[in-house]
Amino acid sequence: MINEFGYCSLDYGVAYSRDSGVITCRATNKYGTDHTSATLIVKDEKSLVEESQLPEGRRGLQRIEELERMAHEGAVPAVAVDQKEKQKPEIVLVPEPARVLEGETARFRCRVTGYPLPKVNWYLNGQLIRKSKRFRLRYDGIYYLDIVDYVTSDDSASIMVKAVNIAGETSSHAFLLVQGNLKSLTSILLPIIAYV
């Protein structure tokens, strides 16, 4: 379901005949409740196979997804799946110091191993960074922190990444240096030069 700018929509990526039925949208606020309904009819396509073709059914699919996730994270699947021994987090790709001009995006990245999968947090001058318009956090096997939206020289800071699981924790530090760009310096100096 998507709810943006006062507009709500329910989108089906894929619909099956079992999804047929009455869909009701209900809106509620302090003044009352209203609703509307629509009927969804999905025709059965006989050539479409909905059931798993894997020998173990859903359990086999979950195991494949887990193996793919672990392979994507860089673990050795044959060892990691059967491994029940806890492993302390280790940062195998440490974030590097970043030097950017004002207005540019500062990017830090790291790769973490450990079992079970560690929880990873980023910190700016000791303060926990939460995902926002200014701080973009993402993960694709590597953890990324992007600092965007009007980075200024006042944003020069210490960046820390910390990985924690039940076996232990580890951290790594990098420094962000933001330099004033020539354009902003020129906009400050030109009025002064013109005045003289």
Over residues 72-98, mean pLDDT: 74
Question: How far is residue 33's CA from residue 37's CA, in Å, rounded to a whole number?
Answer: 14
List 28's β-bridge partners, or say none: 33
Residue pair 107/97 in contact by the 8 Å Cβ criterion: no
Look at 90 and 52; give whichever has higher pLDDT.
90
Q: What's the maximum distance between 2 C-alpha atoms anywhere in the chain?
A: 84
C-beta of residue 123 within 8 angstroms of C-beta of residue 172: no
Q: Classify strands 143-147 and 157-165 as parallel, antiparallel or unpaired.
A: unpaired
Q: What is the mean pLDDT of residues 59-63?
A: 68
pLDDT at position 17 over 60: yes
The secondary structure of 5-47 as a DSSP string is TTEEE---SS--GGG-EEEEEEEEETTEEEEEEEEE-----TT
Q: For residue 56, name the pLDDT band (cuts at 50, 70, 90).
A: low
Question: pTM of this prediction?
Answer: 0.51
84 vs 66, residue with greater confidence: 66
Please classify residue 10 by burial: count the beta carbons closer than 10 Å to its beta carbon, then call 0-12 exposed, 13-18 middle and 19+ buried.
exposed
Which position has the higher pLDDT, 17 or 92?
A: 92
The total number of residues shown for the chain amounts to: 196
The pLDDT-based confidence of 171 (bands split at 50, 70, 90) is very high
Helix/strand/coil for 91: strand
Domains of the chain, CATH where assigned: 2-40 (no CATH), 51-83 (no CATH), 87-182 (2.60.40.10)
Per-residue confidence (pLDDT) for residue 63, from 0 to 100: 73
Q: Where are the beta strands (DSSP E) in 98-150?
A: 98-101, 106-115, 119-124, 127-128, 135-139, 143-147
pLDDT band at 123 (very low <50, low <70, confident <90, very high): very high
Return the SS3 of 2. Answer: strand
pLDDT grade for 100, boundaries at 50, 70 and 90: confident
CA distance 145 to 139: 9
- The Cβ of residue 160 has, within 10 Å, a number of other Cβ atoms equal to 20
